[in-house]
Chain A
Amino acid sequence: MSVRTLPLLFLNLGGEMLYILDQRLRAQNIPADKARKVMNDITSTMFNKKFLGELFKPQELYSKKALRTVYDRLAHASIMRLNQGSMDKLYDLMTMAFKYQVLLCPRPKDVLLVTFNHLDAIKDFIRDSPLIVKQVDETFQKLIEVYGCLSAGEFQLIRQTLLIFFQDMHIRVSIFLKDKVQNSNGRFVLPTSGPVPWGTDVPGLIRMFNNKGEEVKRVEFKYGGNYVSAKSEGSFDLYGDRGLTLGTNMYSMSQPVETHVSEAPKNLPLNTSKASPAPNPLAKEELNFLARLMGGMEIKKTSGPEPGFRLNLFTTDEEEEHAALTRPEELSYQVINIQAAQDQQRNEELSRIMGEFEVHDQPPQNTSKGDDLLAMMDEL
């Protein structure tokens, strides 16, 4: 609904993508200079002025599928390649992470702080390239210019629009399950304790006034949670303490290397087809959007001596291929292979969940990965 949602969605998902790629590049021991090149190339493509210009135009959000195509292109903006299975997993992780961040934002306006957390971290990734840092800083300024003076009501509409986009996504992510921020049914945990949002009072008080405006009675009640006052508001400046950890890198050092993605079992009794009554006009409009957006993307051609490499988001190629083969287009059920026996023993809950899945025999996905825009459109 809000026509100002796309830049926030794109930048936050892009930030999550960079976190995951950074972690996998280290896990797969990709040489530092190649890893740096990949991060720099992707970041500079993401923050390209012409591309962002298209992004910031007021427009409705497009479907998850259409947006996925943009990230597909972005992930291939450098010498790195990703197979279908890995690209699927990457997109699942990115979207569930940002869904979690939006849900847990204390105030609707805090989604801007989450965005700034992502940008702060991105600036650190590419700190050796002053030109790209400048691109990111200019994006910061643009964000402050566009969102700095929006009202609480407009931010709430943006939040509602984002939550509508993430509706019906209940993919379970092992990092979230392990940290107990996600339940085994795929829903996120909403804490009922901690600081209240900036500008909200701790619940539990009823004040009554007379017609002259004087307080005549004060009653406390048990509200069922355990909240405390907020300490301070996060900073909306170019530099500053953002005041929340949502949007910071959850894959850095302390987290284990593997993240597993699985679809939560559904308990809906009826036909859950979400097919729109008129699919064709929507797809056409999305193709136009993609053409505009990608037209603004300046992908460097991989010429020169720099050889490419393939990044795998799974531990083995067999796992990756299996994930791709057993994943239906509708993203309904997905079989996950947990690789190491020690993981299974350590995490019995996860094993039990894995055991609940069905295997669907599906034909292999078309994995043509040409740079050709038309080829990508065919995959829609």
Chain B
Amino acid sequence: MYRRDRPLLLRSCPAALYNNLCVLPLPASGLAQFALVHGSNCELLSAVPSGLPLSQRLLHAKEGAGLNLPLITQAYWCVLPFRVLLVLTSQRGIQIYESDGSVMVYWHALDSSDAPPAQALFARGIAASGHYICVGTWSGRVLVFDVPAKGPNIMLSEELNEHRVPVTDIAAEPAQGQDCVADVVTADDSGLLCVWKSGPEFKLLTRISGFGIPCPSVQLWQGSVAAGFGDGQIRIFEASSGALHVQINAHARSISALDLAPEAGKLLSGAEDSFVHIWKLSRNPDSGCIEVEHCHAECVTDTLVCGARFCDPKGSSFAVTGYDLSEILRYSCV
């Protein structure tokens, strides 16, 4: 059972975009940092679990070419082996900051040269795997950046060209042991999921076809891919083979965010139907197949949920953002 905690008041309401909340727990100081996007800005807040926001910062989209103010599509903290970086994706490109947003360390402008005329240009989908940061784009291309232990010498290492429509989300999991099956999964607007092994050269391991329904959010846990779809379904696949293990009729509208609490195998789903659900994932010891149990349903009344994140790796607390909602809602286990 979860109960509502004190919400965090925001300067402005989050945009109705996918995965519009990122949480970075800072266990050393007992604080947590929150990031969400609204228009051309990214709002950063830090707070103690049940307290008022302690500090706030507003980051702006870098303008680049063109006169309109570009929209930011996503903000995400990439936890790398030696550093944490905050990545912002926008209609113009990719901005990478130190984790508190104080300094921009890298800027990558999107290449618009081969864009067809009626195409919206943007970057969207961010994940970190080892010392690589992967970012998706409107063309389906996934850019892989190699990040040094410190300093601004981030380099574009590779471009992955498996997707043909805009990338929606990317997720990563630390490689588990020698027979590790997957590191990174990329998802797109057609529901196609690609599972990759990361490294100096990324290797495509599995392709799981979509049915034309977007996959706004995806997670990887112990060799299984959990994907949320625009028709409200959550599907869980075996990452190495692409076999479908679980199909959940989870929501009545498009899923907008998924998150994982890896230490507990808990999955959090938020959707446009105003519901947030928590699921427990486990592996059946006999069949080796993934099983799912529903744990908790939360109705965020009259709110189009656009972001949902666990605030700790055990999943004992979570936070939710919504369109037209001027606060971050927080819940914790009783």
Chain A contact residues, CB within 8 Å of chain B: 1-4, 58, 60, 103, 106, 108, 151-154, 156-157, 159-160, 163-164, 167-168, 170, 183, 187-190, 192, 196-197, 199-211, 213, 216-217, 219, 221-225, 227, 267-272, 274, 276-278, 281-282, 284-285
What residues on A are CB-neighbors of B249 within 8 Å?
A: 201-206
Contact assessment for B277 and A223 in the assembled complex, using a CB-CB cutoff below 8 Å: yes
What residues on B are CB-neighbors of A159 within 8 Å?
A: 16
- Known contacts being A167-B39, A276-B69, is A209 close to B244, with CB within 8 Å? yes
Shortest distance from the beta carbon of B170 to any chain A beta carbon, whole Å: 16
| From B16, B60, B233, B301, contact of A277 by CB (8 A) | B60
Shortest distance from the beta carbon of B70 to any chain A beta carbon, whole Å: 9
Hey, what's the 0/1 contact readout for B196-224 against A, CB within 8 Å counting as 1? 00000000000000001110100000000
Stretch at the interface among B141-149, B286-294, B313-321: B286-294
- Known contacts being A151-B212, A269-B9, is A211 close to B289, with CB within 8 Å? yes
Give the distance in Å from the alpha carbon of A56 to the alpha carbon of B155 in the complex. 40
What residues on A are CB-neighbors of B213 within 8 Å?
A: 152, 199
Contact assessment for B252 and A197 in the assembled complex, using a CB-CB cutoff below 8 Å: yes
What would be 20 A-B contacts, judged by CB atoms less than 8 Å apart? A58-B118, A152-B230, A156-B254, A163-B16, A167-B16, A167-B324, A168-B12, A192-B273, A200-B232, A203-B250, A206-B247, A209-B247, A211-B241, A216-B287, A223-B275, A225-B273, A225-B299, A227-B252, A278-B63, A281-B67
What residues on A are CB-neighbors of B324 within 8 Å?
A: 167, 170, 187-188
Give the distance in Å from the alpha carbon of A60 to the alpha carbon of B166 in the complex. 18
Shortest distance from the beta carbon of A285 to any chain B beta carbon, whole Å: 5
Give the distance in Å from the alpha carbon of A3 to the alpha carbon of B40 in the complex. 17
Give the distance in Å from the alpha carbon of A4 to the alpha carbon of B118 in the complex. 7
Contact assessment for A208 and B189 in the assembled complex, using a CB-CB cutoff below 8 Å: no
Give the distance in Å from the alpha carbon of A271 to the alpha carbon of B299 in the complex. 30
Chain A interface, >50% SS class: loop
| From B117, B190, B323, contact of A153 by CB (8 A) | B190
Chain B contact residues, CB within 8 Å of chain A: 9-13, 15-17, 38-40, 56, 60, 63, 67-69, 71, 73, 91, 117-120, 122, 165-166, 168, 188-190, 212-214, 216, 230-233, 238, 241, 243-254, 273-275, 277, 287-294, 297-299, 301-304, 323-326
Contact assessment for A282 and B67 in the assembled complex, using a CB-CB cutoff below 8 Å: yes
Contact assessment for B230 and A209 in the assembled complex, using a CB-CB cutoff below 8 Å: no
The chain A residue with its CB closest to the CB of B294 is: A221
Contact assessment for B246 and A203 in the assembled complex, using a CB-CB cutoff below 8 Å: no
| From B15, B188, B189, B292, contact of A164 by CB (8 A) | B15
Contact assessment for B326 and A267 in the assembled complex, using a CB-CB cutoff below 8 Å: yes
| From B119, B251, B292, contact of A208 by CB (8 A) | B292
What residues on A are CB-neighbors of B287 within 8 Å?
A: 210-211, 216
Contact assessment for A274 and B274 in the assembled complex, using a CB-CB cutoff below 8 Å: no
- Known contacts being A1-B91, A208-B246, A211-B287, is A151 close to B165, with CB within 8 Å? yes
Give the distance in Å from the alpha carbon of A152 to the alpha carbon of B67 in the complex. 29
Contact assessment for A164 and B214 in the assembled complex, using a CB-CB cutoff below 8 Å: no
Give the distance in Å from the alpha carbon of A103 to the alpha carbon of B301 in the complex. 14
What residues on A are CB-neighbors of B189 within 8 Å?
A: 151-154, 156
Shortest distance from the beta carbon of B12 to any chain A beta carbon, whole Å: 7
Shortest distance from the beta carbon of B324 to any chain A beta carbon, whole Å: 5
| From A156, A170, A205, A223, contact of B297 by CB (8 A) | A223
The chain A residue with its CB closest to the CB of B18 is: A160
Give the distance in Å from the alpha carbon of A154 to the alpha carbon of B288 in the complex. 38
The chain A residue with its CB closest to the CB of B327 is: A267
The chain B residue with its CB closest to the CB of A153 is: B189
Shortest distance from the beta carbon of A29 to any chain B beta carbon, whole Å: 38
| From A58, A154, A168, A183, contact of B302 by CB (8 A) | A183
The chain A residue with its CB closest to the CB of B287 is: A210
Shortest distance from the beta carbon of A67 to any chain B beta carbon, whole Å: 14
Give the distance in Å from the alpha carbon of A225 to the alpha carbon of B291 in the complex. 24
The chain B residue with its CB closest to the CB of A273 is: B11
- Known contacts being A188-B302, A207-B246, A209-B245, is A224 close to B68, with CB within 8 Å? no
What residues on A are CB-neighbors of B16 within 8 Å?
A: 159-160, 163-164, 167
Shortest distance from the beta carbon of A64 to any chain B beta carbon, whole Å: 13
Contact assessment for A268 and B247 in the assembled complex, using a CB-CB cutoff below 8 Å: no
- Known contacts being A151-B189, A188-B302, A200-B232, is A3 close to B119, with CB within 8 Å? yes
Contact assessment for A164 and B71 in the assembled complex, using a CB-CB cutoff below 8 Å: yes
Shortest distance from the beta carbon of A331 to any chain B beta carbon, whole Å: 15
Contact assessment for B294 and A224 in the assembled complex, using a CB-CB cutoff below 8 Å: no
Contact assessment for A272 and B11 in the assembled complex, using a CB-CB cutoff below 8 Å: yes
| From B67, B118, B231, contact of A199 by CB (8 A) | B231
What residues on A are CB-neighbors of B290 within 8 Å?
A: 208
3 A-B pairs with least C-beta separation: A153-B189, A221-B294, A163-B16
Contact assessment for A213 and B254 in the assembled complex, using a CB-CB cutoff below 8 Å: no
Shortest distance from the beta carbon of B179 to any chain A beta carbon, whole Å: 17
| From A4, A152, A168, contact of B214 by CB (8 A) | A152
- Known contacts being A58-B117, A272-B12, is A224 close to B241, with CB within 8 Å? no
| From B230, B292, B297, contact of A222 by CB (8 A) | B297
- Known contacts being A163-B16, A203-B251, A211-B287, is A157 close to B294, with CB within 8 Å? no
What residues on A are CB-neighbors of B293 within 8 Å?
A: 206, 219
Contact assessment for B166 and A190 in the assembled complex, using a CB-CB cutoff below 8 Å: no
Shortest distance from the beta carbon of A142 to any chain B beta carbon, whole Å: 14
What residues on B are CB-neighbors of A157 within 8 Å?
A: 120, 166
| From A151, A167, A192, A223, contact of B250 by CB (8 A) | A223
Give the distance in Å from the alpha carbon of A224 to the alpha carbon of B253 in the complex. 14
